[in-house]
């Protein structure tokens, strides 16, 4: 018994070791590092304070003491855990208060909270589509959207990034072959920083009776006059069937939601497996998010600051001949290097010089498009942003 078990283990380890070696050799091995004490756009990394241009804390709310205090008050009064799935005994009134607030922000009738954005997408997409349906998915969609499509039994068609004319042609040719059609896109694409022109998408979807599913993980809190996100930016609030947003990015907490009609939310409560079969998120977290939403609404300077910093970095990089994608003031700034090993060596150089930036490799992005991903935060001091740009230009000159 003991023998066969240990043999099994050693075969497993040998097999995994071999795969790890291959990953390492191709520059695709990933590993964790410890990051602590997030404050004012900096973090403590291996005991050293570095400027953080790798996180999605766009408004600087992840370390806001008011948000922490809101969580603290509820922790003291209610304890830590929700106790069970929300459908069993884990539905706290503060979950519903947050759902109402998010619905008002997004201009939809109802929203439903999930513990994470990954879970929204792997739960909602398969719940809404089945055999005989078709999903049109942008080729650059986030892994969680891809996995949601894989879990659905629908036919999945991947269309070239933001090619809405091509999408229209696909719909014209084959929409009639399927029961339901659903178009799945991101509001702001997480690794490219550009956005889907939703004002053009909505009429195409209407023409062919297709549902629209927009994951606005990166637009929420940042885009639009009131920070409602990409739908507000493109003037299509209330015109998208299924809207997804996350709370762990601009809002600085954790969790996510899906929003739309009352029917949509009622249906997902009964059918989205990643909602039904998981513990409700801690009530204190909902309290923190409500406070983050309040701050994001009243402190409009945060949205302006993040856009201002993005514009500043982009214009200097572009002036030096370095290409970036996305809008001029887009808060995610990708710089494509191509080779994953080279990309990670730039990331290492920057870290040695006090800057933490994202290095993005396959399978997160297509092969040959490994890149640096800089994300701006409202709480980055302008001098820090300028110093990042100067260091970046110096490091990039060498590759
Ligand atoms: C980050 C992200 C998610 C996942 O959200 P989590 O709450 O971190 O699980 C989903 N979709 C997109 C587009 C994202 O960028």
Strand order of the sheet with strand 242-246? 110-114, 256-260, 242-246, 211-215, 181-186, 134-138, 155-159
Residue 162 · residue 200 · CB < 8 Å: no
**What one-character-per-residue DSSP string does 343-360 give?**
HHHHHHHHHHTTEEEEEE
Give the mean model confidence (pLDDT) for residues 37-43. 91
Residues 329 and 242 in one domain: no
When pLDDT is averaged across residues 291-305 and rounded to a whole number, the result is 97
CATH number for the domain spanning 289: value is 3.40.640.10
Ligand 1: centre distance to CA 18 (Å): 31
Is residue 171 located within the same domain as residue 289?
Answer: yes
Residue with the smallest CA separation from ligand 1 atom 14 is: 217
Residue 50 lies inside a defined structural domain of this protein: yes
Average pLDDT over residues 32-44: 92
Indicate if ligand 1 lies below 6 Å from the C-beta of 248. yes
> For the chain, what is the domain count?
2
Measured distance CA(35)–CA(47) in Å, rounded? 9
Mind listing the pLDDT tens digit for each residue in 213-241?
999 999 999 999 999 999 999 999 999 99
| Pair of tokens at residue 227 | 């920070």
Whether 128 and 258 share a structural domain: yes
Which residue has tokens 């996305």?
Answer: 326
With beta carbons less than 8 A apart as the criterion, state whether 67 and 290 touch.
Answer: no
| Shared domain check, 384 and 318 | yes
108 lines ligand 1 (CB under 6 A): no
Q: Which of 255, 274, 297 is the last residue of a domain?
A: 297
In a shared domain, residues 281 and 382? no
60 domain-assigned? no
Share of residues in the chain with pLDDT > 70 (%): 98
Closest atom of ligand 1 relative to the 189 alpha carbon:
13
**Which atom in ligand 1 lies closest to the alpha carbon of residue 186?**
13
Question: Is the same domain home to 267 and 335?
Answer: no
pLDDT at 5: 58
Q: What's the mean pLDDT in 14-27?
A: 93
Q: Is the pLDDT of residue 64 over 70?
A: yes
Domain span at 385: 26-55+300-396
Residues labelled as active-site residues: 190, 218, 249
* Ligand 1 binding pocket includes 195 (Cβ within 6 Å): no
In a domain, 341, yes or no: yes
Asked if residue 135 and residue 216 are part of one domain, the reply reads yes
| 8 Cα: distance to centroid of ligand 1 (angstroms) | 36
Domain assignment of residue 124, yes or no: yes
Model pTM score:
0.95
Q: Tens of pLDDT along 95-109? A: 999 999 999 999 999
Q: Whole-angstrom Cα distance, residue 120 to residue 234?
A: 23
Task: Identify whether the C-beta of residue 175 lies closer than 8 Å to the C-beta of residue 132.
Answer: no
Structure-token pair, residue 3 = 């023998």
- Is the same domain home to 195 and 275? yes
Residue 4 counted as domain residue: no
Q: Which of 186, 190, 237, 193 is nearest to 214 (CA)?
A: 186
CATH number at residue 363: 3.90.1150.10
The answer, yes or no, to whether any atom of ligand 1 lies below 6 A from the CB of 142, is yes
Asked whether residue 134 carries a pLDDT value surpassing 80, the answer given is yes
Domain boundary among 253, 268, 297: 297
Q: What pLDDT shows up at residue 3? A: 57
Instruction: Judge whether 159 and 181 are in contact, CB under 8 Å.
Output: no
* 20 part of a folded domain: no
CA of 5 to the centre of ligand 1 (A): 38
Name beta bridge partners: 370.
338
In a domain, 19, yes or no: no
Co-location of 282 and 311 in the same domain = no
Q: Is 260 in the pocket of ligand 1 (CB under 6 A)?
A: no
84 shares a domain with 208: yes
Does 293 lie in the same domain as 200? yes
352: Cβ contacts below 8 Å, ≥ 6 apart? none
Q: Which of 55, 102, 147, 256 to mutate to test the pocket of ligand 1 (most atoms within 8 A of CB)?
A: 256
CA of 280 to the centre of ligand 1 (A): 18
Q: Do 343 and 262 sit in the same domain of this protein?
A: no
pLDDT at residue number 26: 86
Whether residue 17 is contained in a domain is answered as no
Summary count for the chain: helices (H), strands (E): 14, 13
- The residue written with tokens 């003037």 in the block is 235
Please say which residue of 237, 265, 297 terminates a domain. Answer: 297
């Amino acid at each position: 018994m003991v023998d066969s078990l240990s043999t099994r283990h050693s075969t497993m380890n040998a097999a995994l070791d071999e795969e790890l070696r291959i990953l390492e050799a191709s520059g695709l091995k990933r590993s964790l590092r410890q990051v602590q004490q997030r404050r004012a756009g900096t973090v403590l990394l291996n005991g050293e304070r570095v400027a953080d241009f790798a996180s999605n804390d766009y408004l600087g709310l992840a370390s806001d003491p008011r948000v922490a205090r809101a969580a603290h008050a509820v922790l003291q009064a209610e304890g830590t855990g929700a106790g069970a799935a929300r459908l069993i005994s884990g539905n706290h009134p503060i979950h519903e208060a947050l759902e109402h607030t998010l619905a008002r922000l997004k201009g939809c009738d109802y929203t439903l909270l999930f513990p994470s954005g990954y879970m929204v997408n792997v739960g909602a997409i398969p719940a809404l589509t089945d055999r005989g349906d078709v999903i049109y998915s942008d080729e650059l969609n986030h892994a969680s959207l891809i996995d949601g499509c894989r879990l659905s039994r629908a036919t999945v068609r991947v269309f070239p990034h933001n090619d809405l004319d091509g999408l229209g042609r696909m719909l014209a040719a084959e929409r009639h072959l399927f029961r339901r059609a659903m178009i799945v896109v991101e509001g702001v694409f997480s690794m490219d920083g550009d956005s889907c022109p939703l004002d053009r998408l909505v009429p195409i979807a209407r023409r062919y009776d297709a549902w629209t599913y927009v994951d606005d993980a990166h637009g929420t809190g940042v885009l639009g006059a009131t920070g409602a996100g990409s739908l507000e930016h493109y003037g299509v609030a209330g015109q998208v069937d299924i809207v997804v947003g996350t709370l762990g990015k601009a809002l600085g907490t954790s969790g996510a939601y899906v929003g739309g009609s009352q029917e949509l939310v009622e249906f997902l409560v009964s059918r989205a497996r990643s909602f039904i079969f998981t513990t409700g998120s801690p009530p204190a977290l909902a309290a923190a998010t409500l406070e983050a939403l309040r701050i994001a609404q009243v402190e409009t300077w945060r949205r302006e600051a993040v856009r201002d910093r993005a514009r500043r970095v982009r214009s200097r990089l572009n002036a030096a001949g370095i290409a970036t994608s996305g809008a001029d003031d887009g808060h995610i700034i990708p710089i494509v290097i191509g080779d994953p090993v080279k990309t990670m060596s730039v990331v290492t150089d920057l870290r040695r010089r006090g800057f933490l930036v994202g290095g993005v490799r396959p399978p997160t992005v297509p092969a040959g498009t490994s890149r640096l991903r800089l994300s701006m935060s409202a709480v980055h001091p302008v001098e820090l942003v300028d110093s990042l740009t100067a260091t970046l230009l110096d490091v990039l000159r060498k590759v």
